Structure 1
């Protein structure tokens, strides 16, 4: 994960990159916030409803994970959080917990606001009715940063479309083709309208090749940089170690104040 973030352009001199598990204040704050959270509140969150149905019986960790997310945010007194639309309700839980904590123990946590991405949600290549997910059991459904060019070409060639050969953008009537248009726009920096205009006159089979070439051109340098970074494990570990020290410098005084306010002297 660290190699992927760095390869995608995260600058460790400007951003604090660290492993959450190395900063115990996250879990400590999560437990305190869980004492302020009701079970019905968590039961109605979309991720729990969806994943617990898939697994028939969800785990406690999955059930309480949104509280840990809230702790991740509030521990650094974050004011703005970049999220996708599917995470808005989880951010609302963080806002609620900030208000509840402040009402109980005095004004302390800011209520974080969402910074919604302007990008369209990328859907599964095998089922364009659902979002693309790394946990999807269908290997052809998801494009990974570490996929080889041949893997990417195969996945996009097998992507679900329809029986109309023209390339158009209509997510409701033509979700599969529209998803490819969204992917093409995302990796090329073009607008959806520009992508559709450029695809005028070619059928969807040929368009899949165009999309695959655009995705490979965008992702292959990242894939190679990820591998280069993974080969230098000492460098990655030093970046994470420095990030952990910086994160704990920020988290420790916040957690100390939280303990004092709730009565853990």
Structure 2
């Protein structure tokens, strides 16, 4: 019995090693590997599955362009402020080079894409952050683009939906990045006074100054399963309060249980769920 168990485990390990060797020797981008269960899947199959692992259901990172493609009705998306890009206000060494690298990698000028379109024929303004660009950090351009998108939603009197995926404020821009917390929050306050709907969709990860500002200010706050959401890191909090935190602390499930989220919605149900909310709000 024990021998069979060890043999089985050995075969599983060997199979995973073979798969890893195969993926290392195939053209880049052909396969994707799940960061949760290590399952290897064709990238095309992953995309068809909205970048959700078909084996374990883990929600893999998704680019802003792909999320918009999945969410917004084909042919209706009009992008805002596409050419807006960051400067180097603090002359931070190497910052411009890093921006150029991420621009080349993501085909974006900064970490958020904003624009308007329809979701099942319902008009919306959307913002989608992309963690592939400086870990979705919020600098002056990110804050400015989100603020302008909110102002467009007010002008057009349509709901605003924002997908957050961020490590927080961008350190290379110092206090200028922190100022975006106040600017975006003030714009949302104006939107609230106009009686317009703001849906905040928190994805993995949503942390730091982003979680402490616009990401937590939705009329409806939604998250994807098992997303990391919080302000400071777990270790820092434990050292500060001198207490051990629960294992599921700062997960979407923990926040839902404690009233900081309204719902957790798997990516495959994202469009239908938002359509229902938008229809109810339009009544």
Is the TM value for this pair above 0.5? no
TM-score, normalised to structure 2, is 0.28
Choose 1 or 2 for highest CA Rg: 1
Q: Could you say which structure has the higher helix fraction?
A: 1
Q: Which has the higher contact order (CA 8 A, sep 6+)?
A: 1
Q: Could you say which structure has the higher strand fraction?
A: 2
